Amino acid sequence: MLKEIDLDYEVCNCLKITIQDIINSVKNNNVKSLRDLQETTKAGTECRNCIFPEGDFGKVKKKVYCKTILKGVLNG
């Protein structure tokens, strides 16, 4: 799924965090959980719409979520 979306896509609009930022954080900062990701990048700590689909209450839904990206990187 990540291959279909531009890596410059802003997952967290509040803090301007991109897919590539999340991938880099997972690979370079030993991120293993959503909590680790939030502590490292701060993604999903403001409005929280970008964490997972069930929590997306925005008018325009995200193409991908932090949790999905994290799982994708961790699972190869």
Over residues 40-68, the pLDDT tens digits come to 999 999 999 999 999 999 888 999 999 99
Angle, alpha carbons 16-31-15 (nearest 5°): 10
Domains of the chain: which residue ranges?
A: 2-74
Residue 76 has a pLDDT of 84
Over residues 1-33, the pLDDT tens digits come to 567 899 999 999 999 999 999 999 999 999 999
Global pTM value = 0.91
Residue 60 has a pLDDT of 87
Residues 48 and 30: their CA atoms lie apart, in Å, by 22
